[in-house]
Structure 1
Amino acid sequence: MRRLVVLAVCLLAAPVSAQDEAGDLARAAGKLLETASVQLDEATSARDRVRALTQTVQAYEAGLSAMRAGLRRAAIREAQLRGQLESRDAEIAQLLAVLQTLTPGQAPTAFLHPDGPNGTARAGMLLAELTPALNQRAERLRRDLSDVEGLRLLQQQAAEQLQLGLSDVQSARAALNQAMANRTDLPQRFTQDPVRTAILIDSSETLDAFSSGLTEIAADDVGWSPPDIDDQIGSLPLPVRGLVLRSAGEPDAAGVTRPGILLATRPGALVTAPTAATLRYVGPLLDFGSVTILEPRPGTLIVLAGMGVSYGEAGQIIAAGTPLGLMSGLPGQDGADALSTRGEGGGADRSETLYIEVRQDDVPLDPQTWFSIDKDG
């Protein structure tokens, strides 16, 4: 009888599972993806297709990011609930074993307390008080089991929606590629001289040398009065959704240091102009891969290196938010990676990198003092 009481008290002392909130995030992300799908349909007939498709791709990226986070939280919460249930298995089995020893077929003395009738009465009263609490605990365990089943169903439904979102964002990117190829409405500040450009590339061994000679490749420069960006310095949006992988001056695995920052991004992520600027250079350069150099104001250059697809031509004047290109790689289409419970902060699913450098009068500046860095990417 005492053993039964001890086991019952242990069960009642177990923590109650918290109200699950992981599903809310996944459902909210699903609404974001539905909104992005509507935007994709509307973008096909929009007058400014580039802007509409840009907003659509960004909406998909935000929705997919939220969906991944919601799925991970749901998977983690499910694992926690399963762990709690499994941790109670041994105690529940012990309790059932003790209850099974109290069978009606045994002698009446089996129900007597060693302290006599008074002890038996007190034990009976204690068990009578514990019975409702035990029933309540059992109901909580049943509710936890129901939560586990609900989370599993939520993950299955969200994975299907994630797969559709991945397919739709690929369609939006393809449409954006076509729209950018057909675009002819951007004002032209200057014409790039291909011979001078080739000479500059061949003679430049560093990004410093190339940047300092950029004005030499421009022909027929009509000039441009850019908007004042002084009040935006420090709060400019990052060109792409990502996490800072390496800060300015931080050595890489080979011990090489660079004055810019390195962002870890997802494959196919959209890169946009953080501010209005002139495209000073677009194309391959040294070992940086595809490079885009922006000039938001005289003497200031923003260098972006590492894109898989680049948009625009040198000499064009672009507005803030104009698409500059897409990161390399194709996102997974099966959604399996989205169900991973590994943390976002590690950047394991951000396999592409974008290098960002800011230069003022040929002097490198720390980009983190120019851009608003979101630690969650």
Structure 2
Amino acid sequence: MRIRAAILAALLWVGPAAAQSDPAEAARHAAQLLEQAAEALNGAEGARDRVRALTEIIRAYEAGLAATRDGMRKAAIREAQLTAELRAREKEVSRLLGALQTIETTSPPLLMLHPSGPLGAARAGMMLADVTPALNARAQDLAKDLEDVRTLRQLQQAAADSLAEGLAGVQKARTELSKAIADRTDLPRRFTEDPIRTAILVSSTETLEAFASGLSEIAAGEIAATNADVSALKGQIELPAQGVVLRRAGEADAAGIRREGMILGTRPRAIVTSPTAATIRYRGPLLDLGNVVILEPQPDLLFVFSGLQEVYGEPGQVIPAGSPVGLMPGASPEIGAILSTSGEGTGTDRSETLYIEVREGGRPVNPEKWFRTDKDG
């Protein structure tokens, strides 16, 4: 429950509302998310379902790191804005400090003297009474800005430690997840893969359509029937990874090529999970698609995910919703690159692409018929 709460909080925090939040508060909240993920990782050893626990921990880390990136970039931008504003007002600050110091160091009897006599002194006193509150208010505003700059700088210094710990933590969780998956023996199977038949099918097909239509050939025997049905989830299934939709089905890319599926931009090493309970029909390299995972949530429905670096599970296994099926390629960026504001708003932090295709009754259909795509990643 703690991990699910952390994931939910992180996803809400890095959504549209976060753009309006205070940078310092956003950074502090992100640090809390990373701390929660670290605590959960320390307690994952005794988890009843270790694979699920580690999967949720990785998702929590990913959400916390994303929030940290956004929060610290906002903090750096705000600190730069305040510094520029203060530099632009150096003359004003100097005059203000001079006036305040004069008022502060001049003795009361001298303040009452005026060349024009008592009447001039009275008028000057009235003017001073009007000006002094404004000067004090301006001084307080400047003091607050300076304090904000100090706070934001302290947060940026602390961010390096938080990010280093978070990156190390998520890497440890990924390593432990790979081992936990290798040790898992409790999943039901609908068939056993024949590696020779699989190799023949892979080498003899030239299209994803042809490969998908021949999937039944890779089984060593009969494929057990299933009455699984996810049709009630149509249009509401969560995407398999945290990311943003870069290209929808049928949209042309820079080369004018149109594909039947959608392309999701993810961060490097993002975890990819099964969005529903499903049978793994295939996992491994295929054509020019890189590593591919093909899931069957129900008869005559296939979810195809391609572009992964690592793939998990074995063909024939029936996995529950949320099970990890792979990791995206890439390397985690250096801390300096994460904190850099040069790529702010360009999407360069989502440098990896996951291709998602849905095949229904042997034919490709728009993935948005099944997947919910109106959420920020």
Displacement of 1:91 in angstroms is 3.2
Structure 1 residue 247 corresponds to structure 2 residue 248: yes
Paired with 2:197 and 2:38, the residues of 1 have a C-alpha distance of: 45
Paired with 1:118 and 1:151, the residues of 2 have a C-alpha distance of: 50
Q: Which residue in 2 is equivalent to 1:161? A: 162
Paired with 1:205 and 1:313, the residues of 2 have a C-alpha distance of: 23
Q: Which residue in 1 is equivalent to 2:180? A: 179
**Within-5 A mapping of 1:298-313:** 298-313=299-314
Q: Which residue in 2 is equivalent to 1:335? A: 335
- Contact kept, 8 Å, 2:188 with 2:317, in 1: the verdict is yes
Q: Which residue in 1 is equivalent to 2:367? A: 367
Paired with 1:214 and 1:161, the residues of 2 have a C-alpha distance of: 46
Q: Which residue in 2 is equivalent to 1:32? A: 33
More moved, 218-227 vs 353-362: 218-227
Q: Which residue in 2 is equivalent to 1:90? A: 91
- Contact kept, 8 Å, 1:268 with 1:326, in 2: the verdict is yes
More moved, 213-222 vs 363-372: 213-222
Q: Which residue in 2 is equivalent to 1:231? A: 232
Paired with 1:21 and 1:38, the residues of 2 have a C-alpha distance of: 26
Paired with 2:200 and 2:210, the residues of 1 have a C-alpha distance of: 12
Q: Which residue in 2 is equivalent to 1:79? A: 80
Displacement of 1:187 in angstroms is 1.1
- Contact kept, 8 Å, 1:212 with 1:362, in 2: the verdict is yes
Paired with 1:93 and 1:344, the residues of 2 have a C-alpha distance of: 34
The CA deviation string for residues 115-137 of structure 1, in whole angstroms up to 9 with x for no partner, is x9988865653343011111111
The CA deviation string for residues 66-99 of structure 1, in whole angstroms up to 9 with x for no partner, is 1111111211221222222223223344667899
Q: Provide the alpha-carbon RMSD of the alignment.
A: 2.8
Paired with 1:365 and 1:177, the residues of 2 have a C-alpha distance of: 32
Distance 1:154 1:101, change over 3 A: closer
Paired with 1:145 and 1:344, the residues of 2 have a C-alpha distance of: 25
One-letter identity of the residue aligned with 2:52: R
Q: Which residue in 1 is equivalent to 2:259? A: 258
Distance 1:239 1:20, change over 3 A: closer
Structure 1 residue 270 corresponds to structure 2 residue 266: no
Displacement of 1:150 in angstroms is 0.9
Paired with 2:100 and 2:240, the residues of 1 have a C-alpha distance of: 66
Distance 1:222 1:208, change over 3 A: closer
Q: Where in structure 1 are there 5+ consecutive unaligned residues?
A: 1-18, 105-110
Paired with 2:348 and 2:101, the residues of 1 have a C-alpha distance of: 52
The CA deviation string for residues 159-190 of structure 1, in whole angstroms up to 9 with x for no partner, is 21111010011011001111111222211101
Return the TM-score normalized by structure 2.
0.85
Distance 1:267 1:128, change over 3 A: same
More moved, 307-316 vs 19-28: 19-28
Paired with 1:269 and 1:165, the residues of 2 have a C-alpha distance of: 14
Paired with 1:39 and 1:164, the residues of 2 have a C-alpha distance of: 14
Distance 1:313 1:98, change over 3 A: closer
Distance 1:318 1:101, change over 3 A: closer
Distance 1:228 1:112, change over 3 A: farther
- Contact kept, 8 Å, 1:308 with 1:327, in 2: the verdict is yes
One-letter identity of the residue aligned with 1:370: W
More moved, 284-293 vs 56-65: 56-65
Paired with 2:305 and 2:238, the residues of 1 have a C-alpha distance of: 14
- Contact kept, 8 Å, 1:58 with 1:270, in 2: the verdict is yes
- Contact kept, 8 Å, 2:237 with 2:372, in 1: the verdict is yes
Paired with 2:223 and 2:97, the residues of 1 have a C-alpha distance of: 88
One-letter identity of the residue aligned with 1:340: S
More moved, 278-287 vs 92-101: 92-101
Paired with 1:98 and 1:38, the residues of 2 have a C-alpha distance of: 54
Q: Where in structure 2 are there 5+ consecutive unaligned residues?
A: 1-19, 107-113
Structure 1 residue 54 corresponds to structure 2 residue 55: yes
Q: Which residue in 2 is equivalent to 1:353? A: 353
Paired with 1:39 and 1:95, the residues of 2 have a C-alpha distance of: 52
Distance 1:341 1:112, change over 3 A: farther
Paired with 1:98 and 1:81, the residues of 2 have a C-alpha distance of: 23
Q: Which residue in 1 is equivalent to 2:293? A: 292
Partner SS state of residue 350, structure 1: coil
Q: Which residue in 2 is equivalent to 1:191? A: 192
Q: Which residue in 2 is equivalent to 1:129? A: 130
One-letter identity of the residue aligned with 1:371: F
- Contact kept, 8 Å, 2:100 with 2:135, in 1: the verdict is no
Distance 1:80 1:372, change over 3 A: same
- Contact kept, 8 Å, 1:345 with 1:376, in 2: the verdict is no
Distance 1:90 1:374, change over 3 A: farther
More moved, 167-176 vs 116-125: 116-125
Distance 1:217 1:120, change over 3 A: same
- Contact kept, 8 Å, 1:282 with 1:292, in 2: the verdict is yes
Larger radius of gyration: 1
- Contact kept, 8 Å, 2:312 with 2:326, in 1: the verdict is yes
